[in-house]
């Protein structure tokens, strides 16, 4: 089933023009360049890639300097040249981790890069989503505010009508207060919407870096494809991040298994003695002996294997969670779409017709002004509520497409 979200034409909205109006697409592009969290994530990837260069390399060689057989007692104590056994040495040693360990280290480093890159993808998706929602919230908050401003402007004409009736004696004196009461009620609602505009603008500025950013143009026309969304879950950044963590856990398991293979070290040294006895050269090899694996290496291998299994189960749980979340978001989208159609086709037309009838009854002297004004206020509230429902539908479409669909980064 496909649901088409039709964005209405943008009405002319009064108000001061801000410094940097942004269309929907420009806001997303600006956020991709300016969001500090994205820059931080990208820097983390570079750091991980740089660290991976050293993974699996041989350790640095060791320079050994020493003195052997130096006498500290007896007739030759404290002398370098009177004792036959005194020798100064200089040597080098090089450790060689076993090949399995070095391969596992390289695999672990690549997994770290995958985790960092997946983190960038997840953060990019979050920034795009939050920027899009902030833009849409700002757009519809301004439209709802404009709707109330139109009602406020019409109260001026109504005030003139009431004044004329008071002058002719056809209206009671308290009727002069009723337009002001309605204007005060509209003012309260306008204050709420003004606060929503300010908050949405602040959220948009958080990602675009422009403190005076404003929504310009129309919202996007988005299509929600249920089958396509369900088929593409496996490639979502969040699941890619879990895949990367699984690979890292598997690399840790291989690294633990590599400890059962012996490492070895090669060393050589040159010893200088008294010229009467000649110099010496020494060469040696040392090999680790993992003889007690049941109490040393095997428990670590079991622990790492359990962590790898946990990572695989978390990947399965993450996919199921995303699938359930998609179904829930689609259900909300259907509900909000039905509510919007009900507002457009039933609630707003009925409120408009009632306001017209009540104003006609007031003009004919069959209804008091207060009741007529309440109907006018109810019409304004119905129109504002319809815009709020339209905003809900648009927010659902953005959230679904940017979270599960092809609009992901």
Say which CATH number the domain at 211 has. Answer: 1.20.1600.10
Residues 6+ apart with CB under 8 A from 312: 246
Q: Is 146 exposed, middle or buried (0-12, 13-18, 19+ CB in 10 A)?
A: middle
Res 175 pLDDT > 70: no
Q: What is the pLDDT of residue 18?
A: 40
Q: What is the pLDDT of residue 81?
A: 63
Q: What is the pLDDT of residue 370?
A: 65
**Residues 286 and 305 both lie in one domain:** no
Instruction: Evaluate whether 104 touches 251 at the Cβ level (below 8 Å).
Output: yes
Q: Is residue 45 part of a domain?
A: yes
Residues of the chain above pLDDT 70, percent? 83
d(CA 245, CA 114): 8
**Residues 157 and 85 both lie in one domain:** no
Say which CATH number the domain at 68 has. Answer: 2.20.200
Q: Is residue 226 part of a domain?
A: yes
Q: What is the pLDDT of residues 51-81, one digit of tens each?
A: 999 999 999 999 999 887 777 766 667 666 6
Domain count, the chain: 2
Q: Which two tokens stand for residue 308?
A: 């790898």
Confidence of residue 407 (pLDDT cuts 50, 70, 90): very low
Q: Is residue 184 part of a domain?
A: yes
Q: What is the pLDDT of residue 51?
A: 92
DSSP state of 61: P
Locus of tokens 């350790």: 59
Res 102 pLDDT > 50: yes
**Residues 136 and 237 both lie in one domain:** yes
Res 212 pLDDT > 90: no
Q: Is residue 409 part of a domain?
A: no
**Residues 91 and 197 both lie in one domain:** no
d(CA 143, CA 134): 14
d(CA 231, CA 177): 61
d(CA 84, CA 74): 13
Q: What is the pLDDT of residue 173?
A: 55
Give the angle 89-93-98 at the CA atoms, nearest 5°: 160
Q: What is the pLDDT of residue 19?
A: 47
Q: Who has greater pLDDT, 61 or 182?
A: 61
**Residues 103 and 233 both lie in one domain:** yes
Q: What is the pLDDT of residue 361?
A: 86
- Pairing outcome for strands 20-22 and 213-215: parallel
Res 2 pLDDT > 50: no
Sign of CA dihedral 229, 233, 236, 238: positive
Q: Averaged over 185-206, what is the pLDDT?
A: 87
Q: Is residue 193 part of a domain?
A: yes
**Residues 169 and 41 both lie in one domain:** yes
Q: How many CB atoms lie within 10 A of CB 162?
A: 20
Confidence of residue 366 (pLDDT cuts 50, 70, 90): confident
Res 13 pLDDT > 50: no
Considering 295, 316, 340, which residue would you say is the last residue of a domain?
295
Domain of 88 in residue numbering reads as: 59-96+261-295
Instruction: Evaluate whether 281 touches 270 at the Cβ level (below 8 Å).
Output: yes
Q: What is the pLDDT of residue 83?
A: 58
**Residues 75 and 132 both lie in one domain:** no
| SS3 (DSSP) at 88 | strand
**Residues 165 and 251 both lie in one domain:** yes
Q: What is the pLDDT of residue 12?
A: 33
DSSP state of 343: I
**Residues 220 and 356 both lie in one domain:** yes
Confidence of residue 340 (pLDDT cuts 50, 70, 90): very high
**Residues 392 and 304 both lie in one domain:** yes
Considering 274, 295, 316, which residue would you say is the last residue of a domain?
295
Full-model pTM: 0.77
d(CA 228, CA 235): 12
**Residues 225 and 170 both lie in one domain:** yes
d(CA 157, CA 148): 15
Q: What is the mean pLDDT of the chain?
A: 83
Q: What is the pLDDT of residues 304-331, one digit of tens each?
A: 999 999 999 999 999 999 999 999 999 9
Q: Is residue 79 part of a domain?
A: yes
Q: Is residue 155 part of a domain?
A: yes
Alpha helices in 169-296 (DSSP H): 178-208, 226-231, 237-258
Considering 280, 295, 310, which residue would you say is the last residue of a domain?
295
Q: Is residue 162 part of a domain?
A: yes
**Residues 313 and 291 both lie in one domain:** no
User: How long, in residues, is the chain?
Assistant: 409
């Amino acid at each position: 089933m496909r649901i088409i979200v039709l964005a209405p034409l943008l009405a002319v909205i009064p108000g001061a023009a801000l410094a940097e109006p942004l269309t929907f697409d420009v806001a997303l592009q600006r956020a991709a360049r300016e969001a500090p969290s994205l820059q931080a994530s990208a820097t983390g990837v570079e750091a991980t890639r740089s660290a991976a260069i050293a993974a699996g390399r041989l350790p640095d060689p060791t320079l050994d300097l020493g003195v052997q057989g130096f006498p500290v007692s007896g007739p030759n104590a404290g002398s370098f040249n009177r004792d036959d056994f005194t020798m100064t040495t200089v040597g080098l040693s090089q450790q060689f981790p076993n090949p399995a360990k070095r391969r596992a280290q390289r695999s672990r480093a690549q997994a770290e890069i995958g985790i960092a890159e997946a983190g960038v993808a997840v953060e990019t998706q979050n920034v795009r989503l939050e920027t899009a929602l902030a833009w849409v919230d700002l757009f519809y908050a301004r439209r709802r505010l404009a709707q109330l401003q139109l009602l406020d402007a019409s109260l001026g004409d109504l005030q003139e009508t009431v004044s004329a009736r008071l002058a002719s004696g056809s209206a009671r004196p308290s009727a002069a207060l009723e337009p002001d009461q309605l204007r005060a009620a509209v003012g309260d609602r306008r204050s709420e919407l003004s606060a929503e505009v300010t908050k949405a603008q602040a959220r948009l500025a958080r990602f675009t870096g422009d403190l005076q950013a404003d929504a310009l143009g129309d919202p996007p026309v988005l299509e929600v494809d249920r089958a396509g969304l369900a088929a593409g879950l496996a490639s979502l950044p969040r699941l890619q991040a879990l895949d990367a963590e699984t690979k890292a856990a598997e690399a840790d398991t291989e690294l633990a298994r590599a400890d059962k293979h012996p490492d070895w070290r090669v060393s050589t040294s040159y010893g200088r003695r008294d010229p009467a006895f000649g110099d010496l050269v020494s060469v040696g090899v040392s090999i680790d002996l993992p003889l007690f694996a049941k109490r040393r290496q095997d428990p670590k291998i079991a622990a790492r294997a359990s962590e790898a299994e946990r990572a695989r189960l978390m990947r399965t749980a993450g996919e199921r969670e995303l699938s359930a979340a998609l179904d829930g978001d689609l259900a909300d989208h259907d509900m909000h779409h039905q509510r919007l159609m009900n507002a457009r086709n039933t609630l707003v037309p009925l409120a408009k017709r009632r306001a017209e009838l009540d104003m006609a009854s007031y003009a004919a002297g069959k209804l008091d002004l207060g009741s007529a004004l309440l109907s006018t206020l109810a019409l304004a509230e119905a129109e504002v509520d319809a815009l709020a429902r339209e905003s809900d539908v648009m927010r659902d479409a953005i959230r679904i497409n940017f979270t599960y669909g092809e609009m992901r980064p």
